[in-house]
Amino acid sequence: MIAPEPGGGPAWRDGWLLRARALPSPNFGPRPAGATIDLLVVHSISLPPGRYGGSEIEQLFCNRLDWDAHPYFDGLRGLEVSSHFLIRRDGALLQFVSCDRRAWHAGRSSWRGRENCNDNSIGIELEGLEYETFEPAQYEALARLCQELARHYPIAHVAGHEHVAPGRKFDPGPGFDWEALRRATGWPAERFAGTQPV
């Protein structure tokens, strides 16, 4: 399906946001029949942790990471994962999997009574570290992406990996400012896991 942007040509093709840099990953599958894609799951990642700007994240998601290049990578050996999007520290946007397909980002997870969040969610990785803060350019890019996704999919919830896999995952972590994202999107607080009272 091709959805027109308000001011121009098509914004999407087959679940690919055309303005994002496409780096197709082999790590995806079909979504279950009848899946409603209404959840955004926000993550953070850096490889090796805390080092920004390299191409290791892309390599991991495309199964091209050299496991021997860094001691940390040894623990990831053989891992097959992906995310739909990655937002780099400067706000640059990359896409690895069509949003119409199921990417492998959330693992064992549940949100609002539904298990296996990969089935009905879109995964967005922010280049970063769980206990560090994120760049203004990343909030801008994420808010813009949220708006674009909501024009194309019935997005109703935004949660962190830490919310859909509590106790097992901790990203994006306390350094992520949910209120800043809420303000930037203009969406109601109820839509965000991170702005809910605990």
> Hey, which residues are catalytic here?
125
| Alpha helices per DSSP H over the chain | 56-61, 71-74, 136-152, 161-164, 178-185
Number of chain positions touching Zn ion (CB under 5 A): 3
Asked, as a colleague might, if the bond just before 32 is cis with ω within 30 of 0, I would say: no
Out of 84, 102, 152, 161, point to the residue binding Zn ion (CB under 5 A): 161
- Distance of closest approach, residue 145 Cβ to Zn ion, in angstroms: 16
**Count of CB atoms situated within 10 Å of the CB of 8:** 7
The answer to whether the Cα torsion of 183, 43, 157, 99 is positive or negative is positive
Closest approach, Cβ 57 to Zn ion, in A, equals 12
Q: Which stretch binds Zn ion (CB under 5 A): 35-43, 78-86, 136-144, 151-159?
A: 35-43
Give the CA count within 13 Å in the CB-facing half-sphere of 67.
8
15 φ/ψ sector (left φ>0, alpha ψ -120 to 50, else beta)? left
- By CB under 5 A, which span of 11-19, 112-120, 148-156, 167-175 interacts with Zn ion? 167-175
Nearer to Zn ion, 103 or 143 (CB): 103
Please state whether beta strands 85-87 and 157-160 pair in parallel, antiparallel, or not at all (unpaired): unpaired
Q: Is 127 in the site for Zn ion (CB under 5 A)?
A: no
Q: How far apart, in whole angstroms, are the C-alpha atoms of residue 137 and residue 126?
A: 11
Give the shortest CB-2-to-Zn ion separation in angstroms. 30
Site for Zn ion (CB under 5 A): which residue of 25, 39, 40, 43?
43
Contact positions with Zn ion (CB under 5 A) in 48-87: none
Q: Does 171 bind Zn ion (CB under 5 A)?
A: yes
Q: Does 130 bind Zn ion (CB under 5 A)?
A: no
CB of 33 to Zn ion, least distance (A): 26
